[in-house]
Amino acid sequence: MNDRFLKACRREPVDATPVWFMRQAGRYMAEYRTLRQKYSMLEMCRTPELAAQVTLQPIKLGVDAAILFSDILIPLEPMGAPVEFAKGEGPVIARPVRTAKDVETLRVIDPEESLGFVFEAIRMLRKELSVPLIGFAGAPFTLASYLIEGGHSTNYLLTKKLMFSDPACWNDLMARLAEVVRRFLRAQVAAGAQAVQLFDSWVGQLSVDDYETLVAPHVRHILRDLETTGVPVIHFGTGTSALLESMTRAGGTVIGLDWRVRLDEGWARVGHDHAVQGNLDPASFTAPREVIHQRAADVLRRAGGRPGHIFNLGHGLFPEAPVDEVRALVDFVHEFKHA
Amino acid sequence: MNDRFLKACRREPVDATPVWFMRQAGRYMAEYRTLRQKYSMLEMCRTPELAAQVTLQPIKLGVDAAILFSDILIPLEPMGAPVEFAKGEGPVIARPVRTAKDVETLRVIDPEESLGFVFEAIRMLRKELSVPLIGFAGAPFTLASYLIEGGHSTNYLLTKKLMFSDPACWNDLMARLAEVVRRFLRAQVAAGAQAVQLFDSWVGQLSVDDYETLVAPHVRHILRDLETTGVPVIHFGTGTSALLESMTRAGGTVIGLDWRVRLDEGWARVGHDHAVQGNLDPASFTAPREVIHQRAADVLRRAGGRPGHIFNLGHGLFPEAPVDEVRALVDFVHEFKHA
């Protein structure tokens, strides 16, 4: 069993820096594209055999962890808000949630009952994998933004309208989401996930004070409880240069850093009593190998060989990433020697 | 003449905090929408009488500065890259710039020759206005991103591909843009602009080191020269929480802060030898008046009555902003008394 990743989460010394990639199971791999021609995104998420198969695809690239193939929006349908993945348009929520009445219809589900396919995939994967398996969920703000906007947004106007105009309704929505996410992550751990990542991908749209007041308490509800399971929790967002201290206080064993902040400066702000994950700009894969490796070396040098660094991108792999370069980067990270 | 705005740029004491809004001439005003039914965006920018008329529309709301109605992409056509403003889709560059050959075709124009309509509008406005007139231009990175992507982007992959893979070609492109922007802003000042703003709207997509290496030298080329004109220069971007120190070093009398950073913390990082502009979240206008004013009061309290604060949003006004609330906020800012 390769346990570099789990050791780094616990800030224990490792023989080489562990590396995995957000969206490492995805369209950049030919095997994935082949399966996606036969099955829809939702079919793949909901069929344990397919989810497990896709999860395994990138392992041969040499990564030190697997992340369950799924989607952060998966819990929304059983809650009462069906999601469609329209081709090339991203997710669409047919009936967006915008009023107190809409919020009241959202069920605080028991994931064991309605999301059994996720746990089944986890159990299958644990029998196959020689690297740790990461479970995950979307964080309440990011989920709420999809629910309210009805899909992806550029300005989050409707989300912020609810936050700013009706904080009681907002907090009701966030509390329902947070409790579902808490149960969902706990159940993933119970099924065998050896770490979990909370994706608050769009939280960087908020001011520090709005985050502290209207988001952090709900994140804390989830992460305080998860900490008692003993599995590492990665707390991730993008555009969070102003939020690192607040996100760290909200919880997490490992804090995700995006590429906008220098890794050493971000780690100092998070505090060396936490591990960090990141933070190569995913657009680096548009460059020639030599440049990718120079840029990765800069990240590694900033980590300085301090125990507790997990190499990753600052956000997910793009479909345009060349698979050979992904593989070569894994090797480069593993072979990197700190001076 | 109302000179609160210019005094604040120079960090001189003022009788009330000056306030203006990015995109204060825009679709949120009925008068603007009426004109837009008759004329295209480009017609309005290129007809001095129309540009001047639109520039004047928001002045009755009580703002302390006018900003010339135009678009940051206006210099691109004479450079050799025509822009279309497709309805509801944002700007489209028909022939994107992606290779060294493409870059070579871009002309370093003399703005006096090819953008005379801008200076004519400025001269007309200076005769009408009782508040200072702000000229502006897009910064090289933001202009380059439109040129390369062919329009607005979400991930800037093509832009970064050029930056990372062919820095010589990138620097050639940036140098051409920077020289055009320098000449264009100088000419606006010569025509009568009493301050200028450099919009590096999308620069928050970059890491600190990429900004320092591949962007800051070109911004410095512009701003070092503008400083010798004696007019205040506002240096603005969004998502710049990790870039404030670097942007300040690149130049500017006034640094724009977006809402993600607390105004007092941002100002401390910029340094109190600079003025700052900002930083209410533009989405605040979705809330009831009481909430808008609470949020504005927080910005003003963080400014603390220190000379050198210009109240603004963290980015442009949305078309959804209610004009009555915009007017009421101007009054609120003017009447705010620091404890």
Distance of residue B229 Cα from the nearest chain A Cα, in angstroms: 33
Q: Does A208 touch chain B (CB under 8 A)?
A: yes
Q: Respond yes or no: is residue B36 known to be catalytic.
A: yes
| Pick from B165, B206, B287: CB nearest A164 | B287
Interface of B with A in 239-268 (CB under 8 A): 239, 241-243, 259-262
Q: Respond yes or no: is residue A15 known to be catalytic.
A: no
Q: Does B335 touch chain A (CB under 8 A)?
A: no
Strand order, beta sheet including B233-237: B66-67, B133-138, B195-200, B233-237, B254-256, B275-280, B309-313
Question: pLDDT tens for residues B99-115?
Answer: 999 999 999 999 999 99
Q: How confident is the model at residue B302 (pLDDT cuts 50, 70, 90)?
A: very high
Question: pLDDT tens for residues A270-294?
Answer: 999 999 999 999 999 999 999 999 9
| Pick from A208, A283, A288: CB nearest B157 | A283
Q: Does B108 touch chain A (CB under 8 A)?
A: no
Report d(CA B92, CA B319) in Å as an integer.
20
What percent of chain B has a predicted confidence (pLDDT) above 90? Answer: 97
Q: Does B85 touch chain A (CB under 8 A)?
A: no
Q: Does A155 touch chain B (CB under 8 A)?
A: yes
Report d(CA B136, CA B122) in Å as an integer.
11
Average pLDDT, chain B: 97
In this prediction, residue A320 carries a pLDDT of 95
The third-level CATH classification (topology) of the domain covering A4-335 is TIM Barrel (3.20.20)
- What end-to-end distance do the CA atoms of chain A give, in Å? 28
Q: How confident is the model at residue A220 (pLDDT cuts 50, 70, 90)?
A: very high
Q: How confident is the model at residue A339 (pLDDT cuts 50, 70, 90)?
A: confident
Q: Does A206 touch chain B (CB under 8 A)?
A: yes
| Pick from B204, B241, B291: CB nearest A164 | B291
In this prediction, residue A223 carries a pLDDT of 98
Task: Summarize the confidence of residues B46-67 as an average pLDDT.
Answer: 98
State phi, psi for B137 to the nearest 5 degrees. -155, 155
Distance of residue B283 Cα from the nearest chain A Cα, in angstroms: 6
In this prediction, residue A90 carries a pLDDT of 87
In this prediction, residue A87 carries a pLDDT of 74
User: Which pairs from B177-180 meet CB under 8 Å and 24+ separation?
Assistant: B177/B106, B177/B140, B177/B143, B177/B144, B177/B218, B178/B140, B178/B218, B178/B219, B178/B221, B178/B222, B179/B108, B179/B221, B180/B75, B180/B79, B180/B108, B180/B109, B180/B111
Q: Does B89 touch chain A (CB under 8 A)?
A: no
* Annotated active-site residue in A4, A11, A28, A146: A146
* Annotated active-site residue in B32, B46, B64, B146: B146
A219: pLDDT strictly greater than 80? yes
In this prediction, residue A287 carries a pLDDT of 98
Contact B172, B103 (CB under 8 A): yes
What are the distances in angstroms from CA B117 to CA B42, B71, B78, B159, B191? 12, 13, 13, 30, 11
Question: pLDDT tens for residues B205-237?
Answer: 999 999 999 999 999 999 999 999 999 999 999
* DSSP H helical ranges for B39-165: 41-46, 48-56, 76-79, 100-104, 111-114, 116-128, 140-149, 157-165
B282: pLDDT strictly greater than 90? yes
**Binary contact (A207, B156; C-beta < 8 A):** no
Q: How confident is the model at residue B89 (pLDDT cuts 50, 70, 90)?
A: confident
Nearest CA in chain B to A204: B260
| Pick from A164, A206, A318: CB nearest B286 | A164
Question: pLDDT tens for residues A53-78?
Answer: 999 999 999 999 999 999 999 999 99
B144: pLDDT strictly greater than 80? yes
Interface of B with A in 176-205 (CB under 8 A): 204-205
* Annotated active-site residue in B3, B27, B264, B302: B27
B31: pLDDT strictly greater than 80? yes
In this prediction, residue B339 carries a pLDDT of 77
**For the CA atoms of chain B, what is the radius of gyration?**
19
B183: pLDDT strictly greater than 90? yes
* Complex-level ipTM: 0.96
Q: Respond yes or no: is residue B27 known to be catalytic.
A: yes
In this prediction, residue A89 carries a pLDDT of 75
* Annotated active-site residue in B3, B39, B71, B220: B71
In this prediction, residue B333 carries a pLDDT of 98
**Binary contact (A286, B262; C-beta < 8 A):** no
* Annotated active-site residue in A36, A126, A220, A289: A36
Size of interface A-B (CB pairs under 8 A): 98
**Binary contact (A204, B164; C-beta < 8 A):** no
In this prediction, residue B273 carries a pLDDT of 98
- How many other CB atoms are there within 10 angstroms of residue B338's CB atom? 10
* Annotated active-site residue in B11, B23, B98, B186: B23
B301: pLDDT strictly greater than 90? yes
Report d(CA A66, CA A63) in Å as an integer.
7
Least confident range from A16-30, A74-88, A161-175, B255-269: namely A74-88
Question: pLDDT tens for residues A245-272?
Answer: 999 999 999 999 999 999 999 999 999 9
Report d(CA B233, CA B142) in Å as an integer.
17
Least confident range from A120-134, B77-91, B195-209: namely B77-91
Q: Does A89 touch chain B (CB under 8 A)?
A: no
Q: Token pair for residue A152? A: 């992806």
Task: Give the number of residues written for chain A.
Answer: 339
Q: How confident is the model at residue B1 (pLDDT cuts 50, 70, 90)?
A: confident
Q: How confident is the model at residue B240 (pLDDT cuts 50, 70, 90)?
A: very high
Average pLDDT, chain A: 97
**Binary contact (B155, A207; C-beta < 8 A):** no
